[in-house]
C-alpha cells in the first residue's frame, strides 16, 4: 500500500531506539527483577543437609539392605575426618557384579542379534 523510504525507516528506527533507551534510564527497566533473586542453597550450607538436598544414592538405595549401609558412615562425618581416614581397600563381594545398561542401547543390540540370527537361518535354508 504505502511505500516506505529506507531513509525514513532508518530515522524512525533511530527515534524508537532513543526513546527506548531514555525510558529504560528513567524508569529503571534494566534492573534485575526481584523474582530472579532467590536464596540459593549454596549460600546456606546447612540447608544442603536437609531432606531435599540429601544424597541421591542414599535415597535410591534406602530399601536395599545390601547398599543402605554404604552411606551410613558418611552422614555425620566431617570433612577433616574423611580426609584423615585411611583409603578403603577393595573387598571381593559375594554377589556377582551387574552392568548398568542403557536400555535403548540394550534393545537395539537385541534387535541386531535377532536380525543376525534370521539372516543365518535364511542362509542355511538356501544351502
Average pLDDT, the chain: 69
pLDDT higher than 50, residue 1: no
pLDDT higher than 70, residue 2: no
What does the alpha-carbon distance between residue 109 and residue 47 come to, in Å, rounded to a whole number? Answer: 44
Backbone angles phi, psi at 7, to 5 degrees: -70, -40
pLDDT higher than 60, residue 100: yes
Q: How much is the pLDDT for 40?
A: 64
Task: Give the confidence band of 101 by pLDDT, cuts at 50, 70, 90.
Answer: low
What does the alpha-carbon distance between residue 125 and residue 127 come to, in Å, rounded to a whole number? Answer: 6
Identity of the highest mean pLDDT range in 62-66, 72-76, 81-85:
62-66
Tell me if the pTM is above 0.85.
no
Task: Give the confidence band of 123 by pLDDT, cuts at 50, 70, 90.
Answer: very high
What does the alpha-carbon distance between residue 111 and residue 117 come to, in Å, rounded to a whole number? Answer: 10
pLDDT higher than 70, residue 58: no
Q: How much is the pLDDT for 15?
A: 86
Amino acid at each position: 500500500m504505502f511505500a516506505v523510504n529506507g531513509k525514513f525507516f532508518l530515522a524512525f528506527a533511530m527515534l524508537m531506539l532513543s526513546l527506548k533507551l531514555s525510558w529504560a534510564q528513567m524508569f529503571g527497566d534494566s534492573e534485575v527483577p526481584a523474582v530472579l533473586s532467590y536464596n540459593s542453597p549454596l549460600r546456606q550450607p546447612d540447608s544442603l543437609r536437609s531432606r531435599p538436598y540429601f544424597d541421591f544414592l542414599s535415597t535410591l538405595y534406602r530399601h536395599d539392605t545390601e547398599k543402605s549401609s554404604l552411606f551410613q558412615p558418611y552422614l555425620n562425618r566431617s570433612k577433616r575426618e574423611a580426609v584423615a581416614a585411611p583409603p578403603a581397600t577393595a573387598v571381593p563381594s559375594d554377589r556377582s557384579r551387574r552392568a548398568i545398561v542403557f536400555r535403548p542401547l540394550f534393545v537395539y543390540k537385541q534387535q541386531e542379534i535377532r536380525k543376525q540370527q534370521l539372516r543365518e537361518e535364511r542362509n542355511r535354508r538356501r544351502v
